[in-house]
Amino acid sequence: MKPSEVSAFLNRVVKRHPVEPEFHQAVAEVVHSVAPFIAANPRYRKARILERMVEPERVISFRVTWADRSGEVQVNRGHRVQMNSAIGPYKGGLRFHPDVTLGTLKFLAFEQTLKNSLTTLPMGGAKGGADFDPKGRTDEEVMRFCQAFMNELWRHIGPDTDVPAGDTGVSEREIGFLFGQYKKLRNAFGGVFTGKGIPWGGSHIRTEATGYGLIFFVEEMFRHVGASIIDKQIALSGSGNVAQFAAEKAMLMGAKVITWSDSSGFVHDPAGVDPQKLAFVKDLKERKRGRIKEYAEKFKCAYHAGKRPWGVKCDVALPCATQNEITGDDALALVKNGCRCVAEGANMPSTPEAVRVFLDKKILFGPGKAANAGGVAVSGLEMSQNSLRLSWTREEVEKRLSEIMTNIHRQCAQYEQRKGFVNYVNGANIAGFRKVAEAMLDQGLV
Ligand code: NDP
Ligand code: 2IT
């Protein structure tokens, strides 16, 4: 595709999906990566694969009405974006966050399609969620909301149709309530969710998978250039699921994690996270649902309200909170302070300006759709175990996760390696795109 064709294509996407800047951003990155590949493969263009890939196969939007603990009626909006089912049933998480819009979920579903393709497992792409804010809500309110949400979603999902999981604001508590209501409505106990509790059909290591997989990917990137994660100083954002288990695995592999954050600010702990501090964060976030500021108070380190951790000197940065949390200026600060590797635990946490800095400066940059694919990969393994009606051991699942992350690294490096430098952005986009495109060609105009 010529540059003029790329910009005409992107202009059409903006026109067809107005006021959805995150979706435009995610599409633009992929289109720039795959344009030369499409130019070299005219059959993709003839079948208009790219045009079809940016058009969701189905979008469901619905009202969610429920009563809070004071009996006040609350109205939220739920969505499920079923993006692409070329290589398997729709698959992707649910996000509960007040900022959720249809545009957010379209960007996430689009990323998910290519990410799932990279995992080597048979999963299509989807994402869903609602503008519901779980913060400050009791367990009972969360249950009522989940039940009301499922009262509509249940008719659109199923083990061979669409298999949701967690994402921001949706963890095992919410999956439990959603699964319970689905089971009640459908009168069927099945593998319709992943991230389930271990006693009721969940997989070992699913909770840990995104964070662990991220560290396996970082280790692969270092290994590729003859280095290792051992003794590296890691600045990490977020303090939720992905951040906690990235920190755990990094620590186990001999690195030092020196920051945490949440949406209110970040803590800087130069002494590094240890098992006791990690246990505190897990309890703080999963059970008490408190703020990361309390870590600074407990362990006597600095707290920076309203700030992100990218000004801290580090060797590795792991954004694990949310989209567009590293700006171009943050990226310049990171590189100036000696950061050699950035791997995205979150989805699209680096702005396009930040990505450009990382690629120009030729540091190791692992984009989310490759680096954080471990979560959905173990979701795929949970689906396999549910189909087999078997449960693999922790060791077995972790071994498979590690092999999958190595394989994803290999796929990225296969497409975009010049003079030893791997452009993982192009590599991940091309490898992910190719498999979905081939499946779409095989299946005709559906
Ligand atoms: P959690 O809800 O467990 O944690 C989210 C963390 O990010 C919290 O610390 C939260 O702070 C912070 N955060 C959320 N929104 C914002 C914001 N707008 N600004 C600043 N901080 C924010 O979510 P996960 O850990 O599951 O997800 C984190 C990221 O990883 C997301 O981008 C998600 O899409 C991605 N991801 C998740 C996977 C999974 O398996 N869970 C798999 C692959 C990617 P606070 O508590 O203040 O809101
Ligand atoms: O962004 C993601 O890959 C996830 N939230 C995990 C999705 C899943 O289906 O496990």
Contact 257, 264 (CB under 8 A): no
- Written as six digits, the tokens of 127 are 């994402």
State pLDDT tens for residues 177-227.
999 999 999 999 999 999 999 999 999 999 999 999 999 999 999 999 999
Bridge-partner residues for 162, per DSSP? 90, 158
Give the mean pLDDT of 116-140.
Answer: 97
Count the alpha carbons within 13 Å of 148 in the hemisphere toward its beta carbon: 21
Nearest atom in ligand 2 to 373's CA: 3
Average pLDDT over every residue of 235-253:
98
Is a pLDDT exceeding 80 seen at residue 336? Answer: yes
Q: Which two tokens stand for residue 71?
A: 């009996």
- Give the residue extent of every domain in the chain: 3-53, 58-188, 209-366
> Looking at residue 415, what is its pLDDT?
80
Residue 18 has what pLDDT?
A: 96
Instruction: Report the pLDDT averaged over residues 93-105.
Output: 98
Cβ of 366 closer than 6 Å to ligand 2, yes or no, is: no
238: left (phi over 0), alpha (psi -120 to 50) or beta: left
The mean pLDDT value of the chain amounts to 97
| CA 294 – CA 284 distance, rounded (Å) | 8
- Whether the per-residue pLDDT at 245 is higher than 80: the answer is yes
pLDDT-derived band at 418 (thresholds 50, 70, 90) equals: confident
In the predicted structure, residue 420 carries a pLDDT above the cut 90? no
Give first-to-last CA distance, the chain, whole Å. Answer: 24
- Residues making up the chain, counted from first to last: 446
Ligand 2 atom with least separation from CA of 108 = 1
Q: Is the CB of 256 under 6 A from ligand 2?
A: no
Structure tokens, 289: 């649902």
Intrachain domains 58-188 and 209-366 with the same fold: yes
% of the chain with per-residue pLDDT over 90: 98
Residue 288 has a CB neighbour count (10 Å cut-off) of: 10
φ and ψ of 42, to 5 deg = -60, -20
Position 146 confidence tier, pLDDT thresholds 50, 70, 90: very high
Q: Whose CA is nearest to atom 9 of ligand 2?
A: 92
Residue 416: is its pLDDT beyond 80?
Answer: no
**β-pair partners for 82:** 58, 126
Mean local confidence (pLDDT), 97-115 = 98
Give the full edge-to-edge strand order of the sheet including 256-257.
256-257, 233-236, 316-318, 341-343, 364-366
Q: Taken in order 192, 197, 202, 203, is the CA torsion positive or negative?
A: positive
pLDDT grade for 1, boundaries at 50, 70 and 90: confident
Q: How far is the CA of 180 from the centre of ligand 1 (A)?
A: 24
CATH number of the structural domain 58-188: 3.40.50.10860
2 is catalytic: no
Instruction: Report, as an integer, the average pLDDT of 305-309.
Output: 98
Quick one: which ligand is closest to 321's CA? 1
**Angle (CA) 292 175 382, round 5°:** 105
Q: Using DSSP, state whether 417 is helix, strand or coil.
A: strand
CATH domain 209-366 topology: Rossmann fold (3.40.50)
- In which order are the strands placed within the sheet that holds 73-84? 58-67, 73-84, 125-130, 90-96, 162-165
Residue 174 pLDDT grade (very low, low, confident, very high; cuts 50, 70, 90) = very high
